[in-house]
Amino acid sequence: MSIRLCQECCQWVFTRDDRCPDCQDALPETINPEDTDTRFRTLVGEVRGRMGHVRVARRKLPADGVFYETANGLFFLPYQTVTKRRLVEQSAASPMWTLAAVFWSPLMFLAPFLKRRELREKDFLENEPIRLSKEDLQLLPDFLSRVSGSFFLPLRDIRAITRKRGQWIIDRSIGPAITIQPIADDPFTQEMQQFLATRL
């Protein structure tokens, strides 16, 4: 099973037989992002703005990201995973004390009082948004072929959008419905209501 970009559905999918599980379109093993940029820019259209931070209900693909409204639909750009180095306090027991405690058990009781604490650098993996300035918004379509897990929902493929228990369900003409939940107190709900009132 491999993950590939379906250029017909405009989303990354898992495939076993070199076809998209939703539209059955044949998927190439590799794509050249430069070859697809022009097509996706036309398909996505002008980026109108950021709608908010959301969590998409799906397995094995990035779930957290940012939703954008474009002239021709909705675009999801997942968070990127970055490595951050932080200072962490750790115990720095002397190897000699540890060895001595093995041979003379009363030292085991003294060990917690004799341990030194020191700061050490440690790497952590964290997810954070790919930040786009207003000037960079029009580069958004280029991320579709470069960021695994991103997707675009053309207006023509959206049959309905409903809200249920704080989640938004996007019913598509091809493929299963997509369930989205706003993250924290994000303005996504207000933006989605505006989108429904003016675009659908």
Looking at residue 143, its pLDDT comes to 94
Looking at residue 152, its pLDDT comes to 97
Looking at residue 45, its pLDDT comes to 95
| Domains identified in the chain and CATH numbers | 32-79+129-199 (2.30.29.30), 84-124 (no CATH)
Phi, psi dihedral angles at 130 (to 5 degrees): -85, 110
Give me the amino acid identity at 108: M
Looking at residue 94, its pLDDT comes to 58
Looking at residue 155, its pLDDT comes to 95
pLDDT digits (tens, 9 = 90+) for 58-116: 888 999 999 999 999 999 999 987 777 777 776 655 566 555 555 556 655 555 555 66
Between 179 and 114, the higher pLDDT residue: 179
Q: Where are the alpha helices (DSSP H) in the chain?
A: 33-44, 95-103, 106-114, 188-199
Q: In Å, what is the CA distance from 117 to each residue of 28, 32, 124?
A: 54, 51, 20
pLDDT digits (tens, 9 = 90+) for 117-172: 677 777 777 778 888 888 899 999 999 999 999 999 999 999 999 999 889 999 99
pLDDT digits (tens, 9 = 90+) for 4-56: 999 889 999 988 788 998 888 888 888 787 778 888 999 999 999 999 999 99
